[in-house]
Structure 1
Amino acid sequence: MNDQAQGLRDLVQGGWDSRTGETKIITISSGKGGVGKSNFALNFGLSLQARGHKVLIFDADIGMANIDVLMGISPQFNLYHLLKKQKTIWEIVQTTQYGISFIAGGSGFNDLISLTEEDLSYFNEQVGELAGHFDYIIFDTGAGLSKETLKFILAANETIIVTTPEPTAITDAYALIKMVHTMGHQVSFRLVINQVTDMKEGKQTANKIQLVAQQFLSLDIAVLGYIESDLNVSKAVKRQIPFHIAYPNSNASKSIRRLADDFLSNEHKALSKVTGSNGVKGFLIRMLRLMNK
């Protein structure tokens, strides 16, 4: 296994044309389901896309993958077909009518753990092809802290934790942050408080998590923004159209645009906290280390 890991590191470190520009990797996660994580990931990506950035969403939620459902799309191929060498990376990338691209994960992530050296080399070579073609790759992970979600949190440039003002959501969001931190990992976290009645409630919710993280973990958690509760969101889900597209003047859409603007204006602060190299190459190097532990 050590020989395999070293060989793959050599491949990653020496194999790709870096191209102009660096692709940044963002993980979107949550302590529990039902907080609007996938909806946020999709509409956040669309808002970045609307600001002139090329975005790819990687649906990494193994059990509850639904990015395609939110857009009313039935993808023919997913990560499984790549890992089985039936398709190339570009054959499983789906370009949508909204301009944003995505990859359906399906059950493919379960197979990452048991790949042979040859298969893993192929996977890394293929994913490396994405470098420079996108400004952002957003991984929408499963809720909670599974082994797979942990790998994406640790390998990404930063992780956005989505929660709501509900007490259980607040508790689970903090538990996820605490679990990662107590493992000895340094991760750049930012909070998004979803489904708030107003900014006051959003700030109060964020403060609860920030105060506890500071008191018991000596950890400063930044807040990315707040998204107002909006009936148009559920309407958009039923229509299988992203709310950023279906209802651009809704409170939720205005919130997501403000949040995207804040993200872009403060991006350098978050990335400066990340240790190691960034971009797709850095992401894969970190993933290799995690998969071979």
Structure 2
Amino acid sequence: MNDQAQGLRNLIQSNAAKQRNTKVITVTSGKGGVGKSNFSLNFALTLQSQGYKVLIFDADIGLANIDVLMGVSSKYSLYHLLKKEKTIWEIIERGHHGIEFIAGGSGFTDLMRLTDQELDYFSEQVGQLNGYVDYIIFDTGAGLSKETLKFILAAEETIVVTTPEPTAITDAYAIIKMVTNLNHQVPFRLVVNRIADEKEGRDTAAKISMVARQFLQLDIPTLGFVADDAHVSKAVRKQVPFTVAFPNSEAARSIRDLTNRFLHGQTFTGSSESSGVKSFLSRMIRLLR
């Protein structure tokens, strides 16, 4: 029976892969407390509501909380995959509206210490996700840890979440500068969270963009702004994503606007050599070895 189920899953995956060009995105921030994980979750849910299939990798080693934000208890994590106790399909969990996610836990720390043989197994397992979803979103830890750095360098693009607070702005620029100074051309996009009004959001984005252009010769497009909305903290307490609990809230409307902007700039040709899960894994394995 298990062999039949696996065969059916492989057939479904094979058919889906012909239709999908999986895009790997990293979401990060210069410091904690800016709402990065909340953004990742609600961004993923909004993409899904637009008809795209999305998988979230909770790669925040110290403060993994995608499951907490949804009030879901994760039975398995990446740890169980690396220990070969479970397959990639068995560690996928489901939350609100069927959104799929993988809990990282201590698994991402273990990932940095794998042997070549273990890395090959990891690559083979995660590679099966190619074509299974339209987007894989890695919600990384705040700041530039060695784990976060590798995900940023391997992903196709990185969304940097900040707030108008001076320390958040400084730290957001610092993470962009550090990656750029490693001579890696990582496409960044900026999201300014918890804005009082659009002017504050534009002013914040302009500060980062101006300094990046002046000192790094780098253009940082702004993906959008998310309003400072009391409904967000209410949703956190309810352990329900705010786009689900309060779909008509200002924050939910903000997420929908920036998601539409994100999708408007995307093309799915399937021809880019640098796109897809296999390309991501190839870059990741080179960084880990």
TM over 0.5: yes
Partner of 1:288: 285
Structure 2: distance between partners of 1:97 and 1:63? 23
What are the equivalent positions in structure 2 for 1:220-235 lying under 5 Å apart?
Answer: 220-235=219-234
In the TM superposition, what whole-angstrom CA distance separates every residue of 1:96-145 from its partner, at most 9, and x where no partner exists? 24121000000001111221222211111110111111000000000000
Partner of 2:165: 166
Partner of 1:26: 25
What are the equivalent positions in structure 2 for 1:59-138 lying under 5 Å apart?
Answer: 59-138=58-137
What are the equivalent positions in structure 2 for 1:265-280 lying under 5 Å apart?
Answer: 265-268=264-267, 276-280=273-277
- On the 8 A contact 2:70/2:96 being kept in 1, the answer is no
- On the 8 A contact 2:74/2:93 being kept in 1, the answer is yes
How many matched pairs?
274
Deviation larger for 159-168 or 105-114 = 105-114
Q: What secondary structure sits across from 2:190 in the alignment?
A: strand
Structure 1: distance between partners of 2:112 and 2:247? 41
- On the 8 A contact 1:72/1:240 being kept in 2, the answer is yes
Structure 1: distance between partners of 2:165 and 2:274? 37
What are the equivalent positions in structure 2 for 1:8-19 lying under 5 Å apart?
Answer: 19=18
Query: Quick one: percent identity of the two aligned structures?
Result: 64
Runs of 4+ in 1 over 4 A off after TM superposition: none
Q: What secondary structure sits across from 2:20 in the alignment?
A: coil
- On the 8 A contact 1:19/1:131 being kept in 2, the answer is no
Structure 1: distance between partners of 2:25 and 2:255? 16
Q: What secondary structure sits across from 1:151 in the alignment?
A: helix
Structure 1: distance between partners of 2:159 and 2:266? 12
Structure 1: distance between partners of 2:243 and 2:226? 12
Partner of 1:215: 214
- On the 8 A contact 2:119/2:285 being kept in 1, the answer is no
Structure 2: distance between partners of 1:118 and 1:288? 11
1:241 aligns with 2:237: no
Structure 1 gap ranges (5+): 1-15
Q: What secondary structure sits across from 1:98 in the alignment?
A: helix
Structure 1: distance between partners of 2:235 and 2:288? 38
Q: What secondary structure sits across from 2:170 in the alignment?
A: helix
Instruction: Indicate the RMSD between aligned Cα atoms, in angstroms.
Output: 1.7
Structure 2 gap ranges (5+): 1-12
- On the 8 A contact 1:23/1:135 being kept in 2, the answer is yes
Partner of 2:138: 139
> Amino acid of the residue matched to residue 242 of structure 2?
F
Structure 1: distance between partners of 2:113 and 2:29? 26
Q: What secondary structure sits across from 1:225 in the alignment?
A: strand
1:268 CA drift (Å): 4.0
Structure 2: distance between partners of 1:177 and 1:103? 26
Partner of 2:5: none
In the TM superposition, what whole-angstrom CA distance separates every residue of 1:20-57 from its partner, at most 9, and x where no partner exists? 32110000000000000000000000000000000000
1:276 CA drift (Å): 4.8
Normalised by the length of structure 1, the TM-score is: 0.91
Normalised by the length of structure 2, the TM-score is: 0.92
Structure 1: distance between partners of 2:211 and 2:152? 21
> Amino acid of the residue matched to residue 158 of structure 1?
E
1:183 CA drift (Å): 1.1
In the TM superposition, what whole-angstrom CA distance separates every residue of 1:260-279 from its partner, at most 9, and x where no partner exists? 0000001249x99xx85210
> Amino acid of the residue matched to residue 239 of structure 2?
Q
